[in-house]
């Protein structure tokens, strides 16, 4: 399947693929780069639930969103 990159360097995932993989607005995906490929992989639903629960918890640490994303990314790649 061929898709185009938009002016904002974005791409649209075709509806049939989004539906099959359960991807919706706000879904998180991991992005991996190999030597010549970019791989997008949906994060499992249980991780999405953790994100939702985390939004309701008052943080104990003063981390920026970027720092939290980096910690999450490191944890995902560790497994």
Per-residue pLDDT reduced to its tens digit, 25-57: 988 888 999 999 999 988 876 666 777 777 777
Per-residue pLDDT reduced to its tens digit, 49-75: 777 777 777 767 788 888 888 888 888
Domains assigned to the chain: 1-42 (2.10.260.10), 43-79 (no CATH)
Q: How many CB atoms lie within 10 A of CB 38?
A: 9
Is residue 9 pLDDT above 90, yes or no? Answer: yes
Mapped onto helix, strand or coil, the DSSP state of residue 42 is: strand
Band (pLDDT 50/70/90 cuts) for residue 12 is very high
Q: What angle do CA 57, 73, 48 make, to 5 degrees?
A: 50
């Amino acid at each position: 399947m061929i898709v185009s990159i938009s002016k904002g360097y974005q791409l649209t995932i075709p509806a049939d693929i989004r539906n099959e993989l359960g991807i919706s607005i706000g879904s998180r995906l991991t992005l991996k780069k190999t030597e010549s490929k970019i791989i997008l992989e949906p994060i499992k639903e249980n991780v999405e639930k953790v994100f939702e629960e985390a939004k309701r918890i008052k943080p104990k640490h003063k981390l920026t969103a970027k720092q939290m994303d980096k910690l999450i990314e490191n944890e995902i790649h560790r497994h």
